[in-house]
Every structure is written in structure tokens, then in C-alpha cells.
Amino acid sequence: MSLIEGRTALMRKAASLADSGELPVRQRPGRTLRDLMFHLGTVQRDWAEMIPDWQVPRRIRAAEAENEGGLYEWLQRSTFLLTHALRTVGPDVVTLTRWAPGGPPMTARHIARRQLQESTIHAYDAQLGIGRPEPVPDEIAINGIDEFLRARLAAKGPWPYSPAQIEVRVSMTPAATVAGPLRREPPMRWLLSLGPAGAEVIPVGEGRPIGTLTGRAGDVLLALYGRTPMLAADTAGDARPIIRLLGWADTSCSLAF
């Protein structure tokens, strides 16, 4: 939950550095940073309401009634409502929504994972809006790639093109060791099978990918979400199913924004 709070705080900081809250959001023509802040706060409140039997704390209700602090404080309260709800119930509590019609119910852990990516991508949108984009931390990006491939794509339904398998392989940013030289963590790999049954992550050794998407974890995550050109990451083999995948996922403009 602290990561969700931290990413949302980065959005608020970026918006506060803008000359005006009316600064456009590049990924969504016609929308502004104020719109982006309102969107994220609304999403966080909506997901908090999916936690069964959770009530808004009295002091938050009082602040809401007075509209204390305007939009910035409203967004901060929105983040508190979400993270406090998740902390209160614990990770395994079943919620009131599902990933896809007919699918299993989501748990609080699923909501936390989803909302970390929501706040991460939109914090990047805000930073991009003011011309100061920052890299996405590796630990957040790796979690986000896994969530994107296993959950977001799984909810899309049947793959509308010829069946294909795509490998996604990412590395982490080099980090200095005590001895001085740089080290690089081993790449993390996913094998994505695309077909009439939809998208499914399968064991790497069980398939033969025709295309590979590789790069630093943060670059790959932003490419998957359409925030940077696919060429920010590298491709090998047949790139056509990768291009189709990004179009099929349809996330270039938003996470529901």
C-alpha cells in the first residue's frame, strides 16, 4: 500500500509543479492534469467501495463534507480511503468484483496490485505532462508486467488473430555493488500464448515463441501500456504479433481514462 501512496504522491507533486492544472495530458487529447487527478481519485474510491463491509472513517467524512483542501487534498483522501480499506481487511478477503464476467472474484490483493499499476502509469502521465518523466522502479515494473500479462490480457477474451506465442524478457537496472563493478540481475521471462481461448502465460519451456519483446523492466511496462513507443524496448523475431498485441490491449490512452 505504501507504493500506491508513493506513486499517487508523485502525481500530485507533478501537478503542483505545473504552471496550471489545465496543462494537457499527452496520452489523452482534450484532458488536463486536473482531469487526470480527478480520474485517479475516483478510481481509487470506486475500488475502495469494492471491499466488503468497509466504512469511511468519521474524520474523512467530515473533511469531505467541508471539501477541505480542494482537489489536491481530495486526491490524498482518495488514496487514504483505498489503502486504509486494503490494510483493514487483509490481502485474501474476497471483494465484490471480478476480473472478467464469469471469472473468479478478485481479492483485496488483486485490487492492490491493480491499483499500484493505475497510480504508477498515471503518475508517469503527469510527469510526462510537465516534461519530467522518471523511470519506473524495477520492482514495480516487474510486478506490473506480470499483472498485465496474467490479468489484464486474460480479461480481453479470444485473441482475434492467428495463434501465436510471444516471449517477454526483461532485465533490471544495473546496481553498484560494494566491490565497485556493476551487476545485472538475470532477465525475467514470460511466455504468452495467444489463441481462441485468449491470452495465457505458460511455462517458458513449453512453447516456441515467434517473437520476443525485451528491455529494461520499466521500458517494457511503459511500452505495454502505450506510454512509450514499442521501439523503446527491443524486439526479435516476428514483431507482427507484438504490434497486434499492443493494439489489442488498447491501453495507449488510458487505464479507463
Sequence spans of domains, the chain:
2-129, 156-177+184-249
- Percent of the chain scoring above 70 in pLDDT: 87
Q: Is the pLDDT of residue 1 over 90?
A: no
- Percent of the chain scoring above 90 in pLDDT: 49
Do the beta carbons of residue 74 and residue 41 sit within 8 Å? yes
Q: What CATH code is assigned to 156-177+184-249?
A: 3.30.1050.10
Rounded distance between C-alpha atoms, residue 154 and residue 165, angstroms = 14
Instruction: Give one DSSP letter per residue of 173-186, joined into a string.
Output: PPEE-TTSSEE-PP
Residue 94, judged by CB atoms within 10 A of its CB (0-12, 13-18, 19+), counts as middle
Give residue 92's pLDDT band: very low, low, confident or very high (50, 70, 90): very high
Give residue 254's pLDDT band: very low, low, confident or very high (50, 70, 90): very low
Q: Per residue in 164-217, pLDDT tens? A: 999 999 988 765 333 444 444 556 899 999 999 999 999 988 888 998 998 889
Under CATH, domain 2-129 is a member of which superfamily?
Answer: dinb family like domain (1.20.120.450)
Residues 6+ apart with CB under 8 A from 104: 98
The vertex-221 CA angle with 217 and 227, nearest 5°, equals 135
Q: Is the pLDDT of residue 128 over 50?
A: yes
Rounded distance between C-alpha atoms, residue 23 and residue 146, angstroms = 32
Phi then psi dihedrals of residue 138, to 5 deg: -55, -45
Do the beta carbons of residue 46 and residue 158 sit within 8 Å? no
Residue 250 or residue 6, greater confidence: 6
Residue 249's pLDDT is what? 82
Residue 174's pLDDT is what? 62
Rounded distance between C-alpha atoms, residue 98 and residue 105, angstroms = 4
Q: Per residue in 41-68, pLDDT tens? A: 999 999 999 998 888 877 777 777 767 6
Q: Is the pLDDT of residue 97 over 90?
A: no
Residue 233's pLDDT is what? 61
Residue 255's pLDDT is what? 45
Rounded distance between C-alpha atoms, residue 159 and residue 199, angstroms = 7
